[in-house]
Amino acid sequence: MTEDDFWTLVAASGTRPGDRQAREDWLGRRLLELPADAVAAFQARLEAAVDAAYTWPLWDAAARIEDGWCSDDGFVSFRLWLVARGRTVYETAVADPDTLAALPELRALAGRRIEDWDDEEWPEWERLDRIAREVWNQTTGRDGEDFDAFYDAVDAADLVTGDAARARDPEGGEPSGRRGELLPRLAALFPRPDGLD
């Protein structure tokens, strides 16, 4: 599973009709066609992309979009959602989070109360992180609760993909970049509730 293979699968899942569940089902079926080590490598690539997006400016953007606050878990889900937007959107947003203001799915949320957003609209996608594990368990005949075996396979895939030096859970450390970056385009779309921008 090369990096290009990973992003091709992500992009193809994004063109599928239907809701997130339909995209998850499609991606799961594509992963079921692959050997177990390629499924683990997909997860390694996914984790590497999520880890690379662990930055203060992107966290500030997520908090801005989500009404001024974004928890640790919410930020993980936000980064998974960002990966699911595809390579170009992902790389552009990691380099400059304010570019997220151009995304039609976020522009559609602007001016609406966060309580009125439905599950499909939320810029978070926690379940994306579970698809490869579920497929790997099915492919290998493992118990769905045997997380260690799956993550051992992901770690082995890291050695092949060259991502072995990264930490599995960077949330133990500080995000990269500076906190409090100006995000003028996002601020215009999602003004702070207290009016202090």
Look up residue 68 and give its two tokens.
């001024």
Distance CA(118)–CA(72), nearest Å, equals 21
Question: Does residue 167 surpass a pLDDT of 50?
Answer: no
Q: What pLDDT, on the 0 to 100 scale, is given for residue 94? A: 97
pLDDT band at 142 (very low <50, low <70, confident <90, very high): confident
The pLDDT value given to residue 45: 94
Torsion from C-alpha of 124, 128, 129, 134, nearest 10 degrees: 150
Q: Are 43 and 1 in contact (CB under 8 A)?
A: no
Task: Check whether 196 has a pLDDT greater than 60.
Answer: no
Question: How many CB atoms are closer than 10 A to CB 39?
Answer: 29
pLDDT of residue 180: 83
- For 32, residues 6+ apart whose C-beta sits below 8 A from its C-beta are 135, 138, 139
What pLDDT score does 147 carry? 81
* Band of residue 157 on the pLDDT scale cut at 50, 70, 90: confident
Of 157 and 86, more confident: 86
In 3D space, the residue among 38, 76, 3, 48 whose CA is nearest the CA of residue 167 turns out to be 48
Query: 3-class DSSP state for residue 176?
Result: strand
The pLDDT tens digits for 11-65 are 999 888 889 999 999 999 999 999 999 999 999 999 999 999 999 999 999 999 9
